[in-house]
Structure 1
Amino acid sequence: MSFSLNEVEATSKRATRGAGYGWGLSEEAGKATRWLCAAGLDGAQILADLLDRGLAHAPGRHRPACQGNEWGGDEILCPLATGAALSDHMGSLRTGDITLTNVAAPALLLPFAANIARNLKTPVTITVDGVEVVTDGPSLAVNPALPSDATLVKVALGGILTAPAASASRAVPDPAAWAVLNRFAHRTYAPATEASRLLGAGSGLSDND
């Protein structure tokens, strides 16, 4: 089954919030998942795998220490927190590459790299354990076999975008991954009350007969 990119973004945002992330990073996750799907990758699968790892339960341990050009954390880095930090420190890339160690779901860094490329008006190259990925913002040239975890990720300005992936207008996520996102998303729904059930049924609390 296919879904619109708007639906992918909305579901991913709510799922990320349901997994325990704040609304700010949840919004970033929705946009990132949409961008990945538009680039021809299964963003829903990538996000679902990340959310299942429960990194939001100890966010401070999975954020990078943004000092100098070599970033690490207490434990494996969350790509959402790391991507947001890269966006905040994009100006640092003008003076040198940024190296990240021990990163979960590194494919989720690609949308943040695209945002940097758009803002700095230059392609950005991300090297994930030796695999180079280049984006100019709207487009992506990628080897699809990115690892689920990366030991070393390098982010650098520049690069040549060859054979960009075709842009997709709809997403066809893996059904199991889509079910995971909806499972997390349902955690954000308020439980029904007797009054809301009656209002939803259209009867209200009064009888006009």
Structure 2
Amino acid sequence: MSTVVRSLNEVYTMLRKAAIGAGCSHGIAEELGRAGVWLCTAGQNGVGAVLSATQAANVRLNAPTIDGDGAVFHHGCAATAGPAAMDLLLSKTDIRRVRIEDVDVPLLVAGLAGIRAAESNRAVLVEVDGAAKSLAACDFERLKHATAITFVLGTGQLSSGADTGVSAAEVDAAAWSDCEKLAARTYVPATEQSRVRGAGANITDND
């Protein structure tokens, strides 16, 4: 497998653009990009997880079933059910556990949980096949093959599985190329008319 090294900033920017190119809203695309970076810092294939999730990114999100302090998302698309599940779990409600069934990319949902837990400084436990563990102790290999995943709001502060000292990631070259193709859908054609309307750079790429 051929790989390339990219900075985490490059990974985030590329994943965000690829998600938009795949049809995701800008808000969802930003979350997927950040989740992909979180997975990379945890030593996982964040780029591949986001790519897989964008294939079903336009699937309609159904409202969860609420039962006491728990909620269940049925037929979960990671790109849409994942952010919604974290919104519900980490909001100031009585919900303390959220389950996503038939989830297509469980690894990505773990990344989404990671970034949301870090933002809120809340402990989130990952439960697969009845075993609940912190994100730091998560069995990613087991998680990748799960058909359902449950997140439980723990007590205390965040225990993250991400390495905050990481600044770059080694990613699969073919996956990166696929991201570039999706991202290209967001670009404006380089014509004289598009430049007159403000597209492209002026003196520097930041203009």
Distance of aligned partners of 1:166 and 1:31 in 2 relative to their CA distance in 1, 3 Å threshold: closer
1:154-173 superposed matches below 5 A: 154-158=150-154, 164=161, 166-167=163-164, 168-173=166-171
Deviation at 1:158, TM superposition (A): 2.3
Q: Which residue is equivalent to 1:9?
A: 12
Distance in 2 between the 1:27 and 1:107 partners?
A: 17
Tell whether 2:193 aligns with 1:192: no
1:97-116 superposed matches below 5 A: 97-116=97-116
Q: Report the TM-score, using the length of structure 2 for normalisation.
A: 0.76
Q: Report the TM-score, using the length of structure 1 for normalisation.
A: 0.75
Work out whether residues 106 and 128 of structure 1, in 8 Å CA contact, stay in contact via their aligned partners in 2: no
Distance in 1 between the 2:42 and 2:93 partners?
A: 24
Name the SS for the 1:145 alignment partner: helix
Name the SS for the 1:50 alignment partner: helix
The residue type paired with residue 111 of structure 1 is: G
Distance of aligned partners of 1:30 and 1:119 in 2 relative to their CA distance in 1, 3 Å threshold: closer
1:53-64 superposed matches below 5 A: 54-57=55-58, 59-60=59-60, 63-64=61-62
Distance in 1 between the 2:173 and 2:133 partners?
A: 27
Distance in 2 between the 1:166 and 1:116 partners?
A: 15
The residue type paired with residue 178 of structure 2 is: V
Note the alpha carbon deviations across 1:125-150, whole angstroms, 9 max, x for none: 11234565523xxxx33323145563
Distance in 2 between the 1:23 and 1:126 partners?
A: 27
Note the alpha carbon deviations across 1:102-147, whole angstroms, 9 max, x for none: 1111111123322443455442111234565523xxxx33323145
Tell whether 2:141 aligns with 1:142: no
The residue type paired with residue 104 of structure 1 is: D
Q: Which residue is equivalent to 1:206?
A: none
Distance of aligned partners of 1:24 and 1:162 in 2 relative to their CA distance in 1, 3 Å threshold: closer
Q: Which residue is equivalent to 1:205?
A: none
Note the alpha carbon deviations across 1:168-198, whole angstroms, 9 max, x for none: 221111111111111111111112225569x
Distance in 2 between the 1:142 and 1:157 partners?
A: 15
Work out whether residues 97 and 156 of structure 1, in 8 Å CA contact, stay in contact via their aligned partners in 2: yes
Q: How big is the alpha-carbon RMSD for the aligned residues of Structure 1 and Structure 2?
A: 3.2
Distance in 2 between the 1:159 and 1:141 partners?
A: 16
**What count of residue pairs does the alignment treat as equivalent?**
190
